[in-house]
């Protein structure tokens, strides 16, 4: 049975995109409940200045808490070397940096052009290596940008190669703006894999135009083994206009489990976690078809194969 890692990014990518600050205890309850449901990796927050994203001010406390949960891989996003140093000090198992393939988005998101970001990646790689922390690079806006439009696939390949030379250990292709389609996903995975090989393991998909699961399936066909998702579809990018809607964790887990793939996640327990979000964020809409329709009548027979 093929093992697929579903990486929960809601506590970071979901919460950074809403105005309300979720209480620390509610975040802890969310993380603990997902871990109990079998989720093995959670991006608990990001090490950005609290003045920019007050929603992420308690990330170090969340790392400390999440580290107490058995078997959970605790990861965080870092925007630069300063954030990386804080992440290592907090005790993360892994960290990732967003590297926007659209230079316009990069400047808007982290105030750095491509040469400056490659220098930052090199600095973060050194910090990660010294701290014994796994370091991944998310190739953001890889499928298109709401600020620039189309992004050159050859440019994505070139920038991935440059990031590998700068010290990245792993790569994710990120559909930050919900522009990807399945054919594009297959094509870009093959091109980037041709440059960096098996260092490309992950997809970070948004469901902005309803293509999230289709794109995930295309990625699986190309050998992708890690898929990011957000409980209730929370999330987007605050610096990419219109880029709402992460892939819904509940719908993704239903699809993968029903296909006979091994996620290690109990869907019934996962669906119960929504109550925590509903209580803590009563004004935020939660998305997903599975919570409303429930699993198929023969779901248990499908996952027992």
**Catalytic residue ranges:** 237
Give the CB-side neighbour count of residue 259, counting CA atoms within 13 A. 17
Residue 71 vs residues 6, 49, 92, 93, 128: alpha-carbon distances, Å? 14, 29, 13, 11, 21
Beta-ladder partners of 206: 246
Q: Which long-range contacts (CB under 8 A, 24 or more apart) does 264-270 make?
A: 264/3, 264/38, 264/40, 265/6, 265/37, 265/38, 265/39, 266/37, 266/38, 267/295, 267/299, 269/33, 269/36, 269/37, 269/38, 270/34, 270/37, 270/38, 270/39, 270/231
Helix (H) or strand (E) holding 194: helix 182-196
Longest dimension (CA), the chain: 53
Residues ≥6 apart with Cβ < 8 Å to 51:
none
Number of other residues whose CB lies within 10 A of the CB of residue 81: 18
Sign, CA dihedral 183-179-197-75, equals negative
HSE-up of 261 (CA within 13 Å, CB side)? 20
């Amino acid at each position: 049975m093929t093992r697929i890692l579903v990486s929960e990014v809601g506590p970071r990518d979901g919460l950074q995109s809403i105005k309300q600050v979720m209480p620390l205890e509610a975040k802890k309850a969310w993380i603990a409940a997902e871990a109990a449901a079998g989720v093995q990796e959670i991006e608990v927050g990001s090490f950005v200045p609290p003045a920019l994203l007050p929603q992420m001010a308690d990330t170090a406390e969340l790392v400390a808490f999440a580290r107490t949960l058995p078997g959970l891989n605790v990861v965080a996003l870092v925007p630069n070397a300063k954030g990386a140093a804080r992440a290592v000090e907090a005790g993360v198992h892994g960290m990732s940096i967003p590297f926007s393939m659209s230079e316009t988005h990069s400047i808007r998101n982290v105030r750095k052009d491509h040469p400056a970001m490659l220098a930052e990646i090199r600095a973060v790689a050194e910090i990660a290596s010294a701290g014994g922390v796994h370091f991944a690079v998310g190739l953001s806006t890889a499928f298109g940008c709401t600020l620039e439009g189309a992004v050159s696939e050859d440019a994505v390949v070139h920038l991935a190669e440059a990031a590998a030379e700068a010290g990245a250990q792993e790569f994710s292709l990120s559909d930050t703006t919900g522009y990807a389609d399945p054919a594009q996903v297959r094509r870009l995975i093959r091109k980037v894999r041709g440059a960096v090989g098996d260092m490309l393991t992950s997809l970070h998909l948004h469901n902005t135009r309803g293509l999230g699961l289709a794109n995930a399936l295309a990625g699986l066909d190309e050998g992708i083994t890690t898929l990011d998702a957000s409980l209730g579809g929370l999330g987007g990018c605050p610096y990419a206009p219109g880029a709402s809607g992460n892939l819904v964790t509940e719908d993704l887990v239903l699809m993968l489990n029903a296909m006979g793939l091994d996620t290690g996640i109990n869907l019934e327990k996962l669906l119960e976690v929504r109550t925590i979000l509903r209580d803590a964020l009563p004004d935020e809409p939660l998305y997903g078809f599975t919570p409303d329709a429930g699993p198929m009548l023969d779901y248990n027979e499908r996952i027992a194969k």
